[in-house]
Amino acid sequence: MKLSNIASILECDFQSSDVEIIGINTLKNAKENEVSFVSNSKYVKDLEHTKAAAVIISANLASQLPSSCTPLITKNPYWSMAVLSKYFAPLIEDDRLDKATIGENCTISSYAEIANGAVIGNNCTILAHVYIGAEAVIGDNTVIYPSVTVYRDCKVGNDCIIHANSVIGSDGFGFATNEKGEHKKIYQNGNVVIEDDVEIGSNVSIDRAVFGSTIIKKGTRIDNLVQVGHNCEIGEYSVLVSQVGLAGSTKLGRNVVMGGQSATAGHLEIAPFSTFAARSGITNSIKEAGNTYAGFPLMGHRQWLKLQAKLAKLIK
């Protein structure tokens, strides 16, 4: 889409040279043929170095853009980004793509559906009522149990197991709200990448990224009924027990263990080898590796045990 067309959609003044735009991205990752946006003060620091062709921005911040970048000035940049995201959303299925490619020695149920453009590796087992979306990739030796859905563009590595009814690549919970309280969907145009040797339990939801990828790194083990929000990154060999919930853009280091019903707020970073007891509530980033935590508000596990002991004495 031409930049001038984008400006017209967003009802912005446009007095710059016109260029072809291929998508939307973050300030840090945007390329010279992409548009970005800024709606949160914590990302203003990235304005100076962005390579985006244009940035959707409020008038008071426009002066901080580099000279090579065109400002698209709006009253509500987040809402404007949501409006624009629809125009760069790919087709759910695309009949123009080639038929799916299936590797050797695969066992695929006649009740499974594999969309055009998908690629299935060698020695895979795909059972009844599985759906593999357009241009999704499934690695070698992977087993997918009944009624699993892998949305378009998502990637599953080698030697993985995905149990029944799990959903890989559904839309993240993203929307903008205007001054009237109305909500506008933000189209989630990224994907999910699951690396090798990952096992995912039943009824797990892993949301696709807004931009870029939600990443599950190699060796991870995810129990039943876990929710992974958009743009999360789960480090190698991490373990997430039943009913864990990760809000969007949470990053876990390697070998993080989260007990049942523990959860994180969004945009946090968790140090490697951290362990969280069941029902831990994590609201701040964890910077020191190798510690064990419990409770809400979160505290060291030993401190939490002492607190429980004192509370027990108070009610005797």
Domain membership of residue 7 (yes or no) is yes
Task: Please name which of 263, 277, 183, 280 lies closest in space to residue 226, comparing C-alpha atoms.
Answer: 263
- Check residue 235 and give its pLDDT: 98
Establish if 310 belongs to a structural domain. Answer: no
Write down the H helix ranges in 21-153.
Answer: 77-85
Residue 160 is assigned to a structural domain of this protein:
no
Mean pLDDT throughout 298-305?
Answer: 94
Range of the domain at 64: 3-88
**Is residue 19 one of the residues assigned to a domain?**
yes
Reported as a pLDDT band with limits 50, 70 and 90, residue 67 is confident
Confidence of residue 283 (pLDDT cuts 50, 70, 90): very high
**Dihedral pair phi/psi, residue 125, rounded to 5°:** -120, 120
Q: Looking at residues 120-126, what average pLDDT do you find?
A: 98
Which residue among the candidates 49, 163, 183, 230 is catalytic per the annotation? 230
pLDDT of residue 298: 97
Average pLDDT over residues 179-204: 97
pLDDT at 63: 86
- Cis check for the bond before 297: say yes or no (omega within 30 of 0): yes
Strand-pair partners of 137: 119, 155
Q: Please state, in angstroms and rounded to a whole number, the distance separating the CA atoms of residues 263 and 61.
A: 35
For residue 16, the model assigns a pLDDT of 82
The answer to whether residue 179 sits within a structural domain is no
The CATH number assigned to the domain holding 70 equals: 3.40.1390.10
Starting at the earlier edge strand, list the strands of the sheet with 155-156.
Answer: 101-102, 119-120, 137-138, 155-156, 191-194, 213-216, 233-234, 251-252, 269-270
How many structural domains are present in the chain? Answer: 1
Q: State the pLDDT at residue 42.
A: 76
Task: Give the phi and the psi of residue 23 in degrees, each rounded to 5.
Answer: 175, -175
| Both structure tokens of 61 | 């911040």
Cβ–Cβ < 8 Å for 168, 152: no
Where residue 41 falls among pLDDT bands split at 50, 70, 90?
confident
Is 230 annotated as catalytic? yes
Average pLDDT over residues 252-257: 98
Cα(223)–Cα(290) distance, integer angstroms: 22
> Using CA atoms, how far apart are residues 75 and 235, in angstroms rounded to an integer?
38
Let me know if residue 77 belongs to a domain: yes
Lowest average pLDDT, out of 55-69, 89-103, 225-239, 289-303, goes to 55-69
Q: Is pTM, for the whole model, over 0.95?
A: no
Is 176 domain-assigned?
Answer: no
**Res. 40: pLDDT tops 90:** no
Residue 222 in any domain: the answer is: no
Task: Say what the pLDDT of residue 68 is.
Answer: 86
Distance, in Å, from the CA atom of 103 to the CA atom of 174, rounded to the nearest integer, reads 36
Residue 135 has pLDDT above 90, yes or no: yes
Torsion of CA 75, 91, 142, 107, to 10 degrees: 160
- What average pLDDT is seen over the chain? 95
Residue where the block lists tokens 């840090």: 28
Q: How many CA atoms lie within 13 A of 25 on its CB side?
A: 18
- Enumerate residues 6+ apart whose C-beta is below 8 A from 79: 176, 177, 178, 184
